[in-house]
Amino acid sequence: MNLEIDRDRLAAEIEELAGISDAEPPAVTRIVFSPADLKARAWLIARCEKAGLAIRQDPVGNIFARWAGADANAAAVGTGSHIDAIPNAGKYDGVVGVLGGLEAIRALQRCGARPKHSIELLLFTSEEPTRFGIGCLGSRMLSGAMTPDAARKLVDKDGTSLEEVRRKAGYSAPLEEVKLPSCYYKAFVELHIEQGPLLEQKQIPLGIVTSIAAPASLRITVEGAGGHAGAVLMQERRDALCAAAELILAIEDVAKSSGAIDTVATVGICDVFPGAVNSIPSRVRLTLDIRDTDLARRDAAMRAIEAARQTIAAKRQVAISEEFVNADAPARCAPAIVEALSQACAKHGFASMKMVSRAYHDSLFMSRIAPVAMLFIPCRNGYSHRPDEYASPEDIARGALVLAETLASLAS
Ligand code: GLV
Ligand code: MN
Ligand code: MN
């Protein structure tokens, strides 16, 4: 089998997709079901059809592009990722796994491979939590980790429901049809940029993921008392933002003192009400994103944050409430797929290392219904979720080549 990746076409496709965005280049913003996201989906479908793949879309907008195998009844081998992008993101997060997956399939077609199992490219809806507050929406539903009832309750910040948004986008069948049976995939492999610096620092071109860290997120509301910024004396105040500031620092402290570098916690949104120069903040809304490779340690950190919340609320005479968005378990990758990836790297003479994914991915949820593993390629300085995110065409092509080799061996 003479597998060859068309590096230049893949790089050109990544550039072209980056142009379908709501941000000034080089930044990319593509929020799920926005006009840019819908245009990007149509663009991708056209490319998949050109490659002879059969398209199916489910009611939450997950797209499946299938290259039929010789045995139509055999479980498929899946690959893919997402193309939605957080505000002010880069070009590669998710996109490398989708377009790299498409190119891997085309490379297999070009060299005359005829796999027994179908190979299916997936585009997952809303891996990013930007619009509906929860990450991995499409794969959560595919795996049954999120029920249709829970999904029907989701609303965006303008109060528009997922139900309304997906129907407007043309996805109107009942959400009950999304979940996949656990025998649907024989294996699932996701190619992704590392989003951290290790591969680059160690000068190793490929990372094989053996586990994915456990993410959790919460919405926190601090209610104090507003008032005139000149007239209310300091001793009389119940300033919601000052309480929130104390809580944010307590969160940082909990993560830093957990005893492990794998505990990370982030407050990424802080909305202040009423948000006027001369008005004491009466209400603050925060988001907390907390992760760890070890579930018990992450949950211990969450309990420590809960204790800090109660102490700060009592001390500052404010009410602090919290609402859980998600608290997911970590994923262990399947040894057989990790082995298939290692052998594919070895076959082409590429060095690789085993590693943990501290970012979450749709594979976290696919692991609940299929054996999974992930392949990482380096990204410059480890930068991700920012406009200067960069992966070189050579590294992307190398990743797509190893992916193609692995898909061929899993689907044979
Ligand atoms: C995925 O984008 C993550 O936040 O890990
Ligand atoms: Mn991301
Ligand atoms: Mn991603």
List, for residues 267-278, the tens digit of each pLDDT value.
999 999 999 999
Number of the ligand 1 atom closest to the C-alpha atom of 358: 5
Q: 3-class secondary structure for 273-298?
A: ECCCCCEECCEEEEEEEEEECCHHHH
Point out the ligand nearest to the CA of residue 81. 3
Number of the ligand 1 atom closest to the C-alpha atom of 291: 5
Question: 191 C-alpha vs ligand 3 centroid, how far in Å?
Answer: 10
SS3 37: helix
Residue 247 corresponds to which amino acid?
Answer: L
SS3 11: helix
32 DSSP assignment: T
CA distance 387 to 90: 4
- 142 contacts 365 by C-beta, under 8 angstroms: yes
Question: 192 C-alpha vs ligand 1 centroid, how far in Å?
Answer: 11
Q: Which DSSP helix (H) or strand (E) runs through 330? A: none
163-182 pLDDT tens trace = 999 999 999 999 999 999 98
Structure token digits, residue 84: 């939605």
Number of the ligand 1 atom closest to the C-alpha atom of 215: 5
**Which residues, other chains included, contact 153 with Cβ-Cβ below 8 Å and sequence gap of 6+?**
none
Question: 184 C-alpha vs ligand 2 centroid, how far in Å?
Answer: 26
Question: 213 C-alpha vs ligand 3 centroid, how far in Å?
Answer: 14
Mean pLDDT of 283-307: 97
SS3 401: helix
Mean pLDDT of 136-143: 98
Question: 30: pLDDT confidence band, cut at 50, 70 and 90?
Answer: very high
Closest-CA residue, ligand 1 atom 5, reads: 359
Question: 259 C-alpha vs ligand 1 centroid, how far in Å?
Answer: 23
| 26: preceding bond cis by omega (within 30 degrees) | yes
Residue 3 has pLDDT above 90, yes or no: yes
- 45 contacts 63 by C-beta, under 8 angstroms: yes
Question: 75 C-alpha vs ligand 1 centroid, how far in Å?
Answer: 29
352-382 pLDDT tens trace = 999 999 999 999 999 999 999 999 999 999 9
pLDDT at position 304, please?
Answer: 98
**Which residues, other chains included, contact 249 with Cβ-Cβ below 8 Å and sequence gap of 6+?**
none
Nearest to 105 by CA among 163, 51, 164: 51
Find the residues whose C-beta lies inside 6 A of ligand 1: 128, 135, 359-360
Question: 129 C-alpha vs ligand 1 centroid, how far in Å?
Answer: 8
Mean pLDDT of 55-75: 97
Residue 408 corresponds to which amino acid?
Answer: A
Point out the ligand nearest to the CA of residue 96. 3
pLDDT at position 12, please?
Answer: 98
Number of the ligand 1 atom closest to the C-alpha atom of 360: 5
Residue 49 has pLDDT above 90, yes or no: yes
Residue 321 has pLDDT above 80, yes or no: yes
Residue 52 has pLDDT above 80, yes or no: yes
Apex 314 CA angle, 310 and 317, nearest 5: 130
Number of the ligand 1 atom closest to the C-alpha atom of 94: 2
Residue 341 has pLDDT above 80, yes or no: yes
pLDDT at position 266, please?
Answer: 98
The pick from 82, 385, 386, 389 for probing ligand 1's pocket by mutation, whose C-beta has the most ligand atoms within 8 angstroms, reads 385
Mean pLDDT of 63-73: 97
Number of the ligand 1 atom closest to the C-alpha atom of 289: 4
Residue 122 has pLDDT above 80, yes or no: yes
- Provide, rounded to the nearest whole percent, the portion of the chain with pLDDT above 70: 100
22 DSSP assignment: S
Question: 114 C-alpha vs ligand 2 centroid, how far in Å?
Answer: 33
Mean pLDDT of 119-133: 98
Residue 1 has pLDDT above 90, yes or no: no
Please report the beta strands in 53-149, taking only residues with DSSP state E, as ranges in sequence order.
54-57, 63-67, 76-81, 85-89, 119-123
Please tell me which residue, 2 or 342, carries the higher pLDDT value. Answer: 342
- 277 contacts 225 by C-beta, under 8 angstroms: no
- 120 contacts 164 by C-beta, under 8 angstroms: no
Point out the ligand nearest to the CA of residue 86. 2
- 13 contacts 400 by C-beta, under 8 angstroms: no
176-212 pLDDT tens trace = 999 999 899 999 999 999 999 999 999 999 999 999 9
The pick from 195, 356, 357, 362 for probing ligand 1's pocket by mutation, whose C-beta has the most ligand atoms within 8 angstroms, reads 195
- 288 contacts 251 by C-beta, under 8 angstroms: yes
Question: 178 C-alpha vs ligand 1 centroid, how far in Å?
Answer: 22
Chain mean pLDDT for the chain = 98
Tell me phi and psi for residue 54, to 5 degrees: -90, 130
Closest-CA residue, ligand 1 atom 2, reads: 128
Residue 299 corresponds to which amino acid?
Answer: D
pLDDT at position 144, please?
Answer: 98
User: Can you give the pTM of this predicted structure?
Assistant: 0.94
